[in-house]
Amino acid sequence: MGNESVVESESGMESRKNSSDSGTMEFESPQALDNVKQLVKPEKTNKKRILDGLFQDPLKISPSQLTQIVLGKNPISVLNEIFSTLAYEVESRTGPAHEPCFVMSLKVKNIEGTFLGTGPSKKMARNSAALTALACIFNLEQEPISDGKKKELLAQALSSSTSVILEDSSNEDDLILKRKGSRNGDKPILKRKKTEINLTEKNPVSILNELRVGLKYEVAGVTGPPHNPVFSVYVIVDGLKYYGTGISKKLARSKAAEHALQSFVQLPNNGILVPAINVGSDEDFTIDKIKEESNMSVVSPRDKNPVMLLNELYPNAVYNFTLNESDVVNRFKATISIEGDTFPGTGSSKKNAKSAAARIALAKLINYTPSDGQINGHGDSASNISRENMLKADEIGRMVNDKFTEVMGGDIQHSRRKVLSGIVMTRGQTLDNAEVICVTTGTKCISGGYICLNGTSLNDMHAEIIARRCLVNYLYDQLVLLTKPDLASTSIFVARDDNCGYKLAKGIEFHLFINTAPCGDARIFSPHEDSVVDRHPNRISRGQLRTKIESGEGTIPIKGCSGIQTWDGILQGERLLTMSCSDKICKWNVLGIQGALLSHFIEPIYLKSLVLGGLMKEPHLYRALCGRIENTLQGLPPPFNLNRPETLRSTSMEQRLAQKAPSFAVIWTQGMSQPEIVSTERGKPDAGMSLVCKHQLAKRFLEVAGKLSSISTDKLVLTSYAEAKESVKTYVSAREALYEAFKKAQLGSWVMKPLEQDLFEFPDLSQ
């Protein structure tokens, strides 16, 4: 270049400054300028261009278009603006797989000859061929250059961040290339490198990969605790290592790439390297208040993931996990240790278990209550949940699950279950003295061919139904204590004020836990519907009485059914119908969970709360438990009333598992050393009868009959099991009022078992 590239005088610069077609770009070094000049230096002779004569108006390339090429605009784009048809083909590919070399050919319509270009990728080879075509078609070369030299210069020109001044001279066909210098004749000011990549739209890793192909990122090390690791990653660029750190490998790679870019690329004033998590460029973090007109949403702590929030508040929290292979549903138990306190949570995966434990920890430490978005993550809703109720539900659910794990003792075969239920008794307002009365599993009913006439078989082996029978057995145990003067003070019962019968001692409450919504009306909804309000409360399907399917799962409405089943009809193949769990729990909320026989001695006992582990929609659950008969229930004799239990949901949610229901039910209640395994087809264990079948509960009734004072003045009839139940007039009257309430609400008629089932005589206690 020498003297040819000297800086123009001030007057020359002023004259060219006013040129309308001038373009501006700066060279990084004289070497880069020499390379481009040999390719793009204009022809000063009168030699005709090769396109002259082919078109009506000779084609010209404007200085601004040539400026765009040198500035970094894709030469293919410039060619496409001038010519309509371009054809590229791969001529050859050489070199190893990690460092290939492509040769591309370019043919332009109406122009003879082929233009070649090379590069480490097809894209760069096409660009090289397009640049060669531009230089040759418009006679931009001054002297012949060998093919090898041309390829070398092209590669250098393409890889360099070059910058020149292109201006019109007095001659139309003459272009002058000069360094951009100062107007006062000082030495040229060499501008720093610039990149043609739009830094505001790409992250550092993408930018670096475009500038340097084939880079490899290596993990240098990992520090920090397992729950909060810090990764160190490095990348080698031009023989130098650039390191980056972050809480994930992705963030560490981004930091390493950013450091590498900053070492050899000057970012423009408005250049922003996009992080892994995009942040709006128009946000102003210097203001303390967000503008009212802004649509930006603010993430409150209640909307954050509980684990994320816990890690922000307590970065030193330690997570421990244990695997229980015998429990398919809650396989993992997470324990979070913070400042000497532990917070447990269970789930089907580590993620779910950790999330449940984090909710409990936050609730106890900072009075955290999850938002609707957090509590409804699995199609559930529990509006207006308080911190105390959430902790209460979690503790009750944990107690039942832990007791089931303890009782099964590693029996993997019988630990399989779909529905788990249990009843917890509390003494007072706190759970300090809470105890598990029973735990049960089961999802099926007896086969019609195995129903019996002596009460030795269980008809309904759904977990929550068996749990109530276990509670009845426990209540008999407490009544037996009253018959022993030295143990009467330990019973949960105390005498009524009129000394006729008994009632629960003050503070005694019972809580029913079910890991899912009870079958029937409480479960008839879409699990993932967003609304917590029933938008169609008047649908005909809402609140209908439903029956379970024999030898299957699920329920069907009973409309059109007479409500009467016959013994011989069932034996001949008619389906044995059993009322759904939702309907039976609704019945308990009117008549009590003690049943007819115990109503001889004690006041009705109602559930204080119902805790679910999943599939909870509060409007549907409330309707199923009591809401559907609120307006039609009339004429209840005292002390019966319509109970409205608290409906709570545990944070340790159970996921839906598509599996076949086990053909057995597990029963454990206080006083049993080993759980009882009952066949759901026969309604009996392999040997003998169940502890909570009608026959055994009738025996328990005889133990206290005649030894305890009765509430009713009616004479106790002990001729048969059925007559003993029907002799409690107030209970029978309340039951009839309940059945009439269902009919008035047009919800169907209650289906009874064949009358012959309860006609057996009371067993002999000596046997």
Mind listing the pLDDT tens digit for each residue in 3-19? 433 333 333 433 333 43
Q: How confident is the model at residue 134 (pLDDT cuts 50, 70, 90)?
A: confident
**pLDDT over 80 at 147, yes or no:** no
Count helices and strands (H / E) in the chain.
Answer: 21, 26
pLDDT at 384: 56
Domain, as residue range, for 310: 302-368
Are residues 415 and 349 part of one domain?
Answer: no
Residue 272 lies in a domain: no
Are residues 716 and 659 part of one domain?
Answer: yes
Are residues 222 and 84 part of one domain?
Answer: no
Are residues 251 and 112 part of one domain?
Answer: no
What CA–CA distance (Å, rounded) separates 754 from 7? 112
Residue 375 lies in a domain: no
**Residue where one domain finishes, among candidates 130, 161, 178:** 178
Q: Residue 667 gets which letter from DSSP?
A: E
Are residues 394 and 351 part of one domain?
Answer: no
Residue 190 lies in a domain: no
Q: How many C-beta atoms lie closer than 10 Å to residue 52's C-beta?
A: 11
Residue 193 lies in a domain: no
Average pLDDT over residues 668-680: 94
Average pLDDT over residues 319-335: 83
What CA–CA distance (Å, rounded) separates 358 from 334? 9
Which of 8, 464, 618, 654 does the annotation list as catalytic?
Answer: 464
**pLDDT over 60 at 624, yes or no:** yes
Find out whether 17 and 157 touch, Cβ atoms under 8 Å.
no
Find out whether 608 and 645 touch, Cβ atoms under 8 Å.
yes
3-class secondary structure, 74: coil
Of the listed ranges 79-83, 334-338, 510-514, 679-683, the one predicted with least confidence: 79-83
Average pLDDT over residues 161-189: 36
Are residues 308 and 169 part of one domain?
Answer: no
Q: Please count the structural domains in the chain.
A: 4
Are residues 344 and 208 part of one domain?
Answer: no
Residue 103 lies in a domain: yes
Of the listed ranges 242-246, 525-529, 642-646, the one predicted with least confidence: 525-529
Torsion sign, CA atoms 684, 686, 692, 694: positive
Question: Angle 147-159/30-40 helices, nearest 10 degrees?
Answer: 130
Q: Residue 9 gets which letter from DSSP?
A: P
Average pLDDT over residues 598-614: 94
Q: What is the DSSP string of 463-510?
A: HHHHHHHHHHHHHHHHHHHHTSTTTGGGSSEEE-TTSSSEEEPTTEEE
Q: Please, what is the average pLDDT of the chain?
A: 77
Are residues 174 and 219 part of one domain?
Answer: no
pLDDT at 279: 39
Residue 561 lies in a domain: yes
Are residues 344 and 397 part of one domain?
Answer: no
**Residue where one domain finishes, among candidates 243, 264, 285:** 264
CATH at residue 36: 3.30.160.20
Of the listed ranges 126-135, 458-467, 642-651, the one predicted with least confidence: 126-135
pLDDT at 303: 61
Find out whether 659 and 620 touch, Cβ atoms under 8 Å.
no
From 613, 611, 620, 383, select the one nearest 523 (Cα to Cα). Answer: 620
Of the listed ranges 266-275, 314-323, 593-602, 707-716, the one predicted with least confidence: 266-275
pLDDT tens column, 425-451? 999 888 889 999 999 999 999 999 899
**pLDDT over 90 at 226, yes or no:** no
pLDDT tens column, 479-538? 999 999 999 999 999 999 888 999 999 999 999 999 999 999 998 876 666 555 666 666
Are residues 410 and 507 part of one domain?
Answer: yes
Q: Give the long-range contacts of residues 569-574, CB within 8 A, separation 24 or more.
A: 570/448, 570/451, 570/754, 571/448, 571/449, 573/448, 574/448
Residue 714 lies in a domain: yes
**pLDDT over 60 at 297, yes or no:** no
To the query of whether residue 464 is one of the catalytic residues in this protein, the response is yes
| 665 Cβ neighbours under 8 A, 6+ residues apart | 440, 441, 442, 444, 458, 461, 463, 466, 677, 678, 680
pLDDT at 68: 57
Residue 764 lies in a domain: no
Are residues 74 and 114 part of one domain?
Answer: yes
Are residues 569 and 654 part of one domain?
Answer: yes
What amino acid is encoded at 253 in this protein? R
Burial classification of residue 738, based on how many CB atoms lie within 10 Å of its CB (0-12 exposed, 13-18 middle, 19 or more buried)? buried
| 240 Cβ neighbours under 8 A, 6+ residues apart | 263
